[in-house]
Chains A and B, each alone.
Chain A
Amino acid sequence: MRIDSSEDYFQVALQRMGQAWDLYGEAEGGSHALAMYVSGVAVECLLRAFKRRRDATFDEKHDLRRLFKASGMLDFFPETLVARGISAEQAIVSFREFQADLNDIYDLWSNDYRYASETRLRSHLKSQGLTRGIKGDVLKAKALALLTASQRFMDKGVLQWKALSRRSKKS
């Protein structure tokens, strides 16, 4: 099946993010490995939607770093924010929080996770040093970290998408 339109990718991104939360919150302790995989797919679909909106000629595959760049979503203009009433300090904090979300998404997701059992993924996260300082279920904790970062990224994407759509309708 071939997905061609940015709108298709956008719709799938929203669906996958909701499904990731459903998987995380399932009774019997949740499906945390699958929730992590699905939330990363949501982010990938969102990036593809934005990228397709700008340029449909190049495929970044599943490389999130290249997709982050190609999407055009990451531009940050602190002077614009200050001009609109946000303090310079708050603008910097927001930028760093956003970068932290991107780091979490990049560190905690791989397309290979679709093959990973809960046990395998737990071992992998430990081997990568990503579970230090966590007490209790490390997979659940990292799933929540990834879903939180992914949701914040989706929030940004949805708001930008709506703003762009409003602008398209006006012009």
Chain B
Amino acid sequence: MESLVEKVQKILTRRFPPPARIDVEDEDGILGSVVSSEFRGMPTIDRVNAIWNTLDRALTPAERRRVLMIVAVTPDEELIHTHNV
């Protein structure tokens, strides 16, 4: 049976196909990131809505509650955010 991680990964990959990168993990809740050039110039609230509108359409309310956060960034932003780690 498909796990929730796999389901979320599949839903996001369908909406944000390669070259976008999707990374989803489950550690007491689903946490993930979508790295896509599509987010370039897109306001934060529109990124949040792009992710959650996609998930809300495909997940049950119980499944949705298990998703803690999906970060939506461009490839450059990912590099900038993590360069000091």
Contacts and interface: CB of A to CB of B under 8 A. Distances in A.
Interface stretch (A26-34, A80-88, A109-117, A128-136): A80-88
Given A11-B29, A90-B76, A163 B69 contact: no
Contacts of B29: 11, 14-15
A75 interface: yes
Given A11-B68, A75-B84, A84-B83, A162 B33 contact: yes
B71 interface: yes
Given A11-B29, A21-B48, A164 B81 contact: no
A18 B33 contact: no
Contacts of A84: 79, 83
Contacts, number: 73
Given A86-B76, A148-B45, A162-B33, A155 B81 contact: yes
A73 to B, nearest CB: 8
Interface residues of B, number: 26
Contacts of B23: 162
Contacts of A18: 68-69
Nearest to A158: B71
A11 B21 CA distance: 23
B60 interface: no
B3 interface: no
Contacts of B62: none
Given A21-B48, A154-B69, A163 B85 contact: yes
Contact of A159 (B28, B48, B81): B81
B78 interface: yes
A11 B28 contact: yes
B8 interface: no
B71 A86 contact: no
A77 B83 contact: yes
The 3 closest A-B pairs by CB, nearest first: A14-B68, A75-B84, A156-B81
25 contacts: A15-B29, A15-B68, A21-B48, A75-B84, A76-B84, A77-B84, A80-B83, A80-B84, A81-B79, A84-B83, A86-B79, A147-B44, A148-B43, A148-B44, A151-B48, A152-B44, A154-B69, A154-B71, A155-B72, A155-B81, A158-B31, A159-B81, A160-B85, A162-B25, A163-B82
